[in-house]
Amino acid sequence: MRYLTIALAKGRLARKTMEMLESLGITCEEMKDKDTRKLIFTNEELKLKFFLSKAGDVPTYVEYGVADIGVVGKDTILEENRNILEVLDLNMGKCRMCVCGPSSAEELLKHHEYIRVASKYPNIAKNYFYNKKHQTVEIIKLNGSVELAPIVGLSEVIVDIVETGSTLRENGLDVLEEIVPLSARMVVNPVSMKMENERIMKLINDLKGVIKGN
Ligand code: PRP
């Protein structure tokens, strides 16, 4: 039996995924060590390997087939637009992709003004404004703390993830439009899905049994 390789987004999502897998008897003790800097972990018994990568790179590892399976947020899947199969909603890490800004920007959106949109997700922002709203805008790519942009005058609005809404509230911004609901998803390489169908389908079906809210 060959190894089945699973790419996980480093951090909270990887920890939560491992908790879910553990309830199915799929464990990886080594990964629980908080001080470890290792990036690859193996479960010899089950012939499983785990990668820890940056969230944005999970779809890349899966598309190229070096990982058979990945677990990553829908935001990353939409932004990266890779040739991968999205097979399961894990119903965790739930949040929303939204257009946010000061309430004064509401009019600019309504009248389809040529505005500046700052985002860590330029592809999602572009797709939403150009293809869905048919509004021509300038997209400005940022790498984080995006809420800063409308406050300091870099942009009129932002496209960003809203979870609890506290970052917006504490910075005097509002949700102006909702783009799409988000959560963690399991993705699979299309060739692996064919070659390792039985093992992958078993994992999907077992996970369905332990997904919260199902
Ligand atoms: C994310 C997101 C928002 C915030 C939303 O940022 O980009 O800033 O969380 O969460 P809330 O609605 O619960 O306040 P993250 O913490 O990942 O950091 P970043 O801004 O540097 O990307």
* DSSP string covering 86-145: EEEE---S-EEEEEEE-GGGHHHHHTT---EEEES-HHHHHIIIIIIS----EEEE--S-
Looking at residue 165, what is its pLDDT?
A: 97
Looking at residue 1, what is its pLDDT?
A: 87
pTM of the model: 0.95
Looking at residue 29, what is its pLDDT?
A: 86
With a 6 Å cutoff on the Cβ, whether 167 touches ligand 1 is yes
Looking at residue 28, what is its pLDDT?
A: 87
Nearest to 55 by CA among 93, 21, 102, 11: 11
With a 6 Å cutoff on the Cβ, whether 79 touches ligand 1 is no
Length of the chain: 214
Rounded distance from Cα 48 to ligand 1 centre (Å): 32
With a 6 Å cutoff on the Cβ, whether 166 touches ligand 1 is yes
Ranges of residues in the chain with a pLDDT under 70 are 214
Q: Is the CB of residue 51 less than 8 Å from the CB of residue 8?
A: yes
Q: Is the CB of residue 32 less than 8 Å from the CB of residue 42?
A: no
Beta strand 48-53 pairing with 116-119: unpaired
